[in-house]
Structure 1
């Protein structure tokens, strides 16, 4: 009996060790982590507290970290501000009723910067949790070392996997009514989804589209959206509900969406349509995390449930790495909750830094981003001026961004283009066109989404971008065309 118990104990210990190895940690190894001068000498540049992601969770974490006088770096990634930047008015942010999502995020970011948080417009490509300090690699190929990490990379809207979606993305298919509603004035559109997001998309379209059909896969919308449907019936004759309906295919003329194939209660129907807006949920942004670096749930969300009692409520499977916001939350998915999670995550991270006896010696080489020179986008309002600019740069690159006033993503893409122009200042020029006010130019170039960036070389269109692109990817695209 005693031998059996010993054998059972050995097996259990082996399982525990194997799990620890799989998720990049030894249960005893982190007890040995101590901050020493040897650590700083071998790992440079060093980041005591790295925040990966710049939405409500990331900015809130940055604010609290910097306020504790810890060198805090926020890697804002490709979508600074997160999903809130692409919403209209927010009524449930505490203390700020009926405020634009962009304004909320701008204020939180500014407050974090005020306390000393370092904002970096870089995207983290990978994290290595098998070493400590943790190794971070940017898309530019730089390697950085972090004593503690908070992952707040959020989530991105889902698209349906049906024929036509990839072909017509940005050509009649979108996920942002606040950005693209003006393109659909007096047109017929479909909104796909049955929750709050679908309702908000429809409300954004009311002032523009001739008719809006909300296609709901089930027999009813979610309870939180039910009151809005009642409001639709009373106030908005242009909004129509279609239940038990699935999109089977999206058709067009290669330039733009023209028809959609629907299936309602098993019966197929082909409808003429001008635009399709998806509002069917989000997927967590965890593709950049290797499977053996952190424990993820099967749906891709970071697991913070298994270790919350030991290391804090936002702890991941690796001690010293924490997660907050929609990247780890598949239940609440609210900006206010994400902000609170970011605060909890950074408090957990600060506790970890105390545990390893972190205290700046003044001799470390902390990471500081490189200063960047920004280029300028010249406004263009007529066909004639645009043609002249293209002809004048027959031997070079011309970057043209089409934007709208109510498009937060356009503002972020402008910054990307400006930084690229600064880097390639003698080889490219930048122009910007208001896609609605200069509708004739938009029609000529089949612009149906904001932002849209066209890249010309020798007068010919070489590339078309219909979504936000990371700084690194955009630079690489331009470099490849030179």
Structure 2
């Protein structure tokens, strides 16, 4: 059994806006809550220079907003650990989390809030020159290119807005755009500002083929998509803004369902396909990836996790600690046969002088429990003593037969 100091009610993997909001709700609900985050708390939002659409703030930097989130979570006694989750075991009621530093933790519920990371093009020179002129975050690295020439790859909101930030330091910023002249993927306001920026130039109908340089970036090879021809452009830095990918690779063998890109499907309660495991923020399938929507995800998941834990605790109280033997009925609330059998079971138990304590479980919401007791179909009844299976009752609509089995 894991040391009790490493046993939590709720573990949140990731400390971005979704994870921090979940932590606030978990702490406020008096759940023993741990946030495991491999980097700086706040995640990629820390690199956002200016946020103007988070309700109540008007204008604030991403790092300052995340500091407020963290401070709020701290006020409710939430614990934080800087480490990286490498493997998980979600097969039992107590979920197991293992980290890169060799630690092991258990939790009654887990919220996956690991976010996303920049997508790599994997072109020649990109990985080799990372940190030597190849970058993915303007707020983090733009100042290192004071007075130099920089290439930006991409034309979405992030690429154009980050490109404009880089012009505060660089002598010139050249943006490589896949589309025809004048067509950018960003919002219209940012596009207009970029076109008016004297330090920004655009190379249309083009993509990057290679990052040039031995020990540091010296230039790029550019391919024109219409002519097929290639040219070289001298520069000292290349910033890639070509999309994001979910940071869910550590879930490969966890049993968590993911789509072909690695994003996690959830329902409206942020539940994954595994009981007691939830997913929020940029690592789940969703329409809008913003701080405000991530915070909403975190709130929903934490409340759902709290209720799940309450159900688990009630189950242990009603069954494991019951003075009587328990009739554990697995049923389907939408199935008439299940409902009729439930009534029959209660009547039979009453006629036997309440010999047993009847506990009903909707199999649709307690899949792990059904798996534990090897229940594959409903209605099904087990006789339990302190949580241990004594026998299984054969399904019947004959009350006399049912009472004889009891």
TM-score, length-scaled by structure 2: 0.73
- 1:63 aligned residue: 24
2:184 maps to 1:221: yes
- 1:401 aligned residue: none
In the TM superposition, residue 290 of structure 1 has moved relative to its aligned partner by 2.5
Give, in whole Å, the separation in 2 of the partners of 1:137 and 1:93: 34
Greater length-normalized contact order (CA 8 Å, ≥ 6 residues apart): 1
Alignment of 1:240-319 (within 5 A): 240-252=201-213, 254-264=214-224, 265=226, 266-304=228-266, 308=267, 312-319=268-275
- 2:146 aligned residue: 185
Question: What secondary structure sits across from 2:11 in the alignment?
Answer: strand
Could you say if the C-alpha distance between residues 169 and 251 of structure 1 is closer, same or farther in structure 2, counting changes exceeding 3 Å? same
Checking the alignment, whether the CA contact within 8 Å between 1:284 and 1:327 is kept in structure 2 is: yes
- 2:194 aligned residue: 232
Could you say if the C-alpha distance between residues 68 and 188 of structure 1 is closer, same or farther in structure 2, counting changes exceeding 3 Å? same
- Give the number of the structure whose residues are more often helix, by fraction: 1
Of 43, 48, 58 in structure 2, the residue corresponding to residue 87 of structure 1 is 48
Could you say if the C-alpha distance between residues 330 and 267 of structure 1 is closer, same or farther in structure 2, counting changes exceeding 3 Å? farther
- 2:161 aligned residue: 200
Give, in whole Å, the separation in 2 of the partners of 1:139 and 1:360: 32
Checking the alignment, whether the CA contact within 8 Å between 1:175 and 1:279 is kept in structure 2 is: yes
Of 96, 105, 115 in structure 2, the residue corresponding to residue 135 of structure 1 is 96
- Once the two structures are superposed, what CA deviation does each residue of 1:341-391 show, in whole Å capped at 9, x if it has no partner? 111111111111122126999xxxxxxxxxxxxxxxxxxxxxxxxxxxxxx
Checking the alignment, whether the CA contact within 8 Å between 2:93 and 2:108 is kept in structure 1 is: yes
In the TM superposition, residue 292 of structure 1 has moved relative to its aligned partner by 4.8
Checking the alignment, whether the CA contact within 8 Å between 1:199 and 1:225 is kept in structure 2 is: no
- Structure 1 spans left out of the alignment, 5+ residues: 1-40, 362-482
In the TM superposition, residue 259 of structure 1 has moved relative to its aligned partner by 1.4
Checking the alignment, whether the CA contact within 8 Å between 1:261 and 1:270 is kept in structure 2 is: yes
Alignment of 1:326-337 (within 5 A): 326-337=282-293
Checking the alignment, whether the CA contact within 8 Å between 2:88 and 2:254 is kept in structure 1 is: no
Give, in whole Å, the separation in 2 of the partners of 1:337 and 1:46: 30
In the TM superposition, residue 153 of structure 1 has moved relative to its aligned partner by 0.3
> What is the root-mean-square deviation in Å for CA atoms of aligned residues?
1.9
Question: What secondary structure sits across from 1:159 in the alignment?
Answer: coil
- Structure 2 spans left out of the alignment, 5+ residues: 318-406
- 1:438 aligned residue: none
In the TM superposition, residue 132 of structure 1 has moved relative to its aligned partner by 2.0
- 1:159 aligned residue: 120
Could you say if the C-alpha distance between residues 359 and 139 of structure 1 is closer, same or farther in structure 2, counting changes exceeding 3 Å? farther
Checking the alignment, whether the CA contact within 8 Å between 1:201 and 1:277 is kept in structure 2 is: no
Could you say if the C-alpha distance between residues 139 and 218 of structure 1 is closer, same or farther in structure 2, counting changes exceeding 3 Å? same
2:80 maps to 1:113: no
Give, in whole Å, the separation in 1 of the partners of 2:154 and 2:234: 19
Of 296, 312, 328 in structure 2, the residue corresponding to residue 356 of structure 1 is 312
Could you say if the C-alpha distance between residues 42 and 227 of structure 1 is closer, same or farther in structure 2, counting changes exceeding 3 Å? closer
Checking the alignment, whether the CA contact within 8 Å between 1:155 and 1:285 is kept in structure 2 is: yes
In the TM superposition, residue 68 of structure 1 has moved relative to its aligned partner by 0.9
Could you say if the C-alpha distance between residues 52 and 360 of structure 1 is closer, same or farther in structure 2, counting changes exceeding 3 Å? farther
Give, in whole Å, the separation in 2 of the partners of 1:64 and 1:87: 24
Give, in whole Å, the separation in 2 of the partners of 1:121 and 1:359: 33
Checking the alignment, whether the CA contact within 8 Å between 1:250 and 1:257 is kept in structure 2 is: yes
Checking the alignment, whether the CA contact within 8 Å between 2:2 and 2:106 is kept in structure 1 is: no
Could you say if the C-alpha distance between residues 68 and 100 of structure 1 is closer, same or farther in structure 2, counting changes exceeding 3 Å? same
Give, in whole Å, the separation in 2 of the partners of 1:301 and 1:314: 13
Checking the alignment, whether the CA contact within 8 Å between 1:47 and 1:147 is kept in structure 2 is: yes
